[in-house]
Amino acid sequence: MLRKEVNDLLTQTGTATPMGTLFRQYWIPALLAEELPANDCPPVRVKLLSERLIAFRDSGGKMGLIDEFCAHRGASLWFGRNEEGGIRCPYHGWKFDVSGQCLEIPSEPAESGLCEKVKLTGYPLVKIGDILWTYMGPKEQQPPLPEWEFATVPAEQTFTSKRWQECNWLQAMEGGIDSSHVSFLHSGSLKTDPLFRGAAGNKYNLQDKMPVFEVVESAGGLFIGARRNAEDGKYYWRITPWVMPCFTMVPPRGDHPMHGHFWIPIDDENCWAWSYDYHPVRALTAEERKAMQDGHGVHVKYVPGTYRPLANKDNDYLMDREAQRRGDTYSGIEGIGMQDASLQESMGPIVDRTKENLVSTDNGIIMARQRLRKAALALKDQGIRPPGIDPAHHRVRSAAVLLPSDQAFQDASQDDLRVRPGVRQSSV
């Protein structure tokens, strides 16, 4: 179990909270590039770390993320006119650029100088891969741009989606580093999902439901190894990297694309679950890309016109009890992404961790909480910047490997767990 004060520290990410300050040290996903498709396109509402913002792309293609509310009387700039290099509030015509700087106050004479003194909070937007990334911390501490492999391979090798998840970021992220639930929750999908089925390693997940966990620290976070029995005296290892604060990568299966997540707080009771698939050495096939677009693998189907899952808490996640009884899906819910999200949301908006009873398979979760807490307090009390900011920490891979029983995964798999351009993933 976790003390309430520690649970509060880890789950609260608003302005001036320790965890909110920690998140603001990183480049984080803000929007899909498709959400700002053209110059002077409509602005987009964005809520991150409990801040209400709008994103827009101006006449010259510059992009920015600024305070949603006009500095004059507080009207939402989502209603604004995106025109001639800025966004203009339709209420009284005040105009702002992508940095938040006020450009025009039509009711005031230019010589008054008022315009130059008015500036909204503004954050940068940078396109890397399919994502527009933002940095919401002190400008003088802005780190180098991220170098995640999925976002830097050629466009034909990668696919990214996001979904709104109606719970706190931490319980969603903890699902991403919990390899033991695969043998139960996803057991049906291992046999049927087009992005999972057919891998030789699937049988070990299904045969051995008592994995042994070994967790080691990495420069950026953790490597979480889940060991299952295989044949010929070997172990089947599924090794999950977690990079602070919220990056997880699922161990691969066969030659299927690799996949993983970012878990980005919207506010304390909602988060964006960003999901990506990529292959390090080949283009995604048309069949793979269609499967991702259709909500297979770690992706989901949407309510049309939104990023809310079609299966959601308002319709009981379209649960099918007959499919559950037949064993088609262990939980009766279709799709790996929604199988996870449904149970994480079922815990409530913020799970009460004082009631938990953790076991050995939760060691990765326990150590991740410890690293987050220590890093947030070290930043708050001593100004020590946390791990995971350095792009070198981004150059990691997950792995699925067969190893002799006398070999430690952290020694035998060092090469498998780092990005090696032009080298395929280590998978079973």
Q: What is the pLDDT of residue 327?
A: 85
**pLDDT at 136 (0 to 100):** 98
* Predicted pLDDT of residue 391: 98
- 263 - beta bridge partners? 273
> What letter does residue 69 receive in the DSSP assignment?
B
Sheet holding 27-32, edge to edge: 27-32, 131-135, 122-128, 63-67, 51-57, 44-48
Question: What is the reported pLDDT for 59?
Answer: 97
If we measure between CA atoms, which residue out of 13, 31, 29 comes closest to residue 307? 31
Question: Given this model, what pLDDT does residue 182 score?
Answer: 82
Output the pLDDT for position 350.
Answer: 98
Give the pLDDT score at 187.
Answer: 85
Give the number of other CB atoms < 10 A from CB of residue 420.
15
Q: Are 272 and 165 in contact (CB under 8 A)?
A: yes
Give counts: helices (H), strands (E), the chain. 12, 18
What does the pLDDT profile of the chain (428 residues) look like in tens digits?
799 999 999 999 999 999 999 999 999 999 999 999 999 999 999 999 999 999 999 999 999 999 999 999 999 999 999 999 999 999 999 999 999 999 999 999 988 999 999 999 999 999 999 999 999 999 999 999 999 999 999 999 999 999 999 999 999 999 989 878 887 889 888 889 999 999 999 999 989 989 999 999 999 999 999 999 999 999 999 999 999 999 999 999 999 999 999 999 999 999 999 999 999 999 999 999 999 999 999 999 999 999 999 999 999 999 999 999 998 899 999 999 999 999 999 999 999 999 999 998 899 999 999 999 999 999 999 999 999 999 999 999 999 999 999 999 999 999 999 999 999 999 99
Q: What is the pLDDT of residue 397?
A: 98
Q: How far apart are CA 155 and CA 106, in angstroms?
A: 44
Q: Helices in 193-285 by DSSP H: which ranges?
A: 202-207
Q: How far is CA 360 from CA 40, 180, 344, 347, in A?
A: 53, 10, 20, 21
Contacts of 275 (CB under 8 A, 6+ apart): 160, 161, 162, 163, 259, 260, 261, 297, 298, 299, 337
CA gap 39, 28 in Å, rounded: 23
**Paired tokens of 43:** 């602005």
What Rg, from alpha-carbon coordinates, does the chain have? 23
**Nearest 5°: CA angle at 265, between 250 and 367?**
50
Residue pair 369/10 in contact (Cβ under 8 Å)? The answer is: yes
Question: What is the distance in angstroms between the CA of the first residue and the CA of the last residue of the chain?
Answer: 35
Cα-flanking dihedrals φ and ψ of residue 263, to 5°?
-120, 100
In the prediction, which pLDDT does 344 show?
96
Of the candidates 387, 409, 419, 43, the one whose C-alpha atom is nearest the C-alpha of residue 228 is 409
pLDDT on residue 398: 98
Q: Say which residues have a Cβ less than 8 Å from residue 306's Cβ, sequence separation at least 6.
A: 164
**Strand (E) or helix (H) holding 188:** helix 187-192
- The confidence score (pLDDT) of residue 409 equals 97
Residues in the chain: 428
Q: Give me the pLDDT at residue 320, please.
A: 94
